């Protein structure tokens, strides 16, 4: 039985979110000079090497049970596809607008959590999520002439991120976190390689 340490979890999550924001900024900055699949490949290859080194040094890969890996593998590919949609949308959107749309994540998680993981969502959380989604609609402006089609790609990415988060809760707690991180990197890397096979020749490049 694992003990819940909510304060420690919140701290780790906050650090992760801050690093993700920094990463998004770098990806946006470099996207004008490098194709997305190349950035994604390098980013994930480095992550896999780091996670592999830490896992080998700390024994973090011990207790690997192939029977528990199905949701881990599926989560990795879902998050990889979500990452691709999000960063590809940045080619036509500002980072601020894309991030604002990403704030629809709590509403999507709340809507799906009762179905997928049977968690009860309190009314006040629904209210907060709906208010946040109204802000997202203000950002997207779907009925406006200034509507940016890339916003749909960002919204798809948000839905995929929500699914990935829900699959995290379905993973058996006996699966070491480093294994989850490793398969996430593999999922991201696989999506980058698939995109490279399609777009790598540059035949789809336009102004």
pLDDT digits (tens, 9 = 90+) for 37-54: 888 888 888 889 998 888
In this prediction, residues 173-190 reach a mean pLDDT of 87
What pLDDT is recorded for position 107? 77
Dihedral sign of CA atoms 108, 109, 110, 112 in order: positive
User: How many Cβ atoms are within 10 Å of 71's Cβ, its own excluded?
Assistant: 19
Lowest mean pLDDT among 8-22, 95-109, 187-201: 95-109
* Angstrom distance (rounded) from CA 50 to CA 47: 5
C-alpha span between 28 and 1 (Å, rounded): 42
Identify the band that residue 144 occupies on the pLDDT scale cut at 50, 70 and 90.
Answer: low
How far is Cα of residue 78 from the mean position of the Cα atoms in its chain?
8
Q: What is the mean pLDDT of residues 15-22?
A: 86
**Measured distance CA(81)–CA(109) in Å, rounded:** 17
Give the whole-angstrom CA distance, residue 29 versus residue 23. 10
State the first-to-last Cα distance of the chain, in angstroms, to the nearest integer.
56
Question: According to the model, what pLDDT value does residue 78 have?
Answer: 92
Q: What is the mean pLDDT of residues 151-175?
A: 85
Of the chain, the percentage scoring pLDDT greater than 70 comes to: 86
What's the whole-number mean pLDDT along residues 56-82? 82
- What's the mean pLDDT in 10-34? 84
Stronger pLDDT, 144 or 191, i.e. the higher one: 191
pLDDT-derived band at 17 (thresholds 50, 70, 90) equals confident
DSSP one-letter string for 45-62? HHHHHHHHHHHHHHTTTT
Stretch 170-180: mean pLDDT, rounded? 83
State yes or no: pLDDT of 206 exceeds 60.
no
User: Which backbone phi and psi does 34 adopt, to 5 degrees?
Assistant: -130, 145
Residue 18 pLDDT greater than 60, yes or no: yes
Task: Say if residue 205's pLDDT is above 60.
Answer: no
CA pair distance 183, 180, nearest whole angstrom: 5
Segments in 121-149 forming alpha helices (H): 123-140
Q: What's the chain's average pLDDT?
A: 80
Neighbour count for residue 164 (Cβ, 10 Å): 21
* Exposed/middle/buried for residue 131 (C-beta within 10 Å: 0-12, 13-18, 19+): exposed
Confidence of residue 115 (pLDDT cuts 50, 70, 90): low
């Amino acid at each position: 039985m694992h003990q819940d340490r909510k304060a420690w979890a919140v701290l780790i999550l906050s650090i992760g979110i801050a690093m993700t924001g920094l990463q998004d900024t770098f990806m946006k900055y470099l996207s004008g000079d490098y194709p997305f699949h190349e950035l994604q490949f390098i980013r994930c290859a480095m992550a896999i090497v780091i996670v592999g080194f830490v896992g080998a040094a700390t024994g973090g890969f011990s207790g690997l049970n192939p029977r528990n890996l199905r949701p881990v593998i599926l989560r990795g590919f879902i998050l990889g596809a979500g990452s691709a949609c999000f960063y590809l949308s940045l080619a036509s959107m500002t980072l601020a607008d894309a991030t604002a749309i990403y704030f629809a994540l709590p509403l999507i998680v709340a809507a799906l959590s009762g179905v997928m993981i049977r968690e009860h969502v309190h009314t006040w959380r629904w209210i907060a999520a709906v208010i946040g989604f109204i802000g997202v609609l203000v950002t997207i402006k779907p009925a406006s002439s200034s509507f940016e089609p890339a916003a749909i790609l960002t919204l798809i990415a948000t839905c995929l991120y929500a699914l990935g988060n829900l699959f995290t809760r379905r993973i058996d707690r006996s699966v070491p976190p480093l294994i989850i991180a490793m398969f996430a990197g593999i999922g991201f890397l696989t999506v980058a390689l698939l995109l490279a096979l399609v777009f790598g020749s540059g035949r789809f490049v336009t102004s």
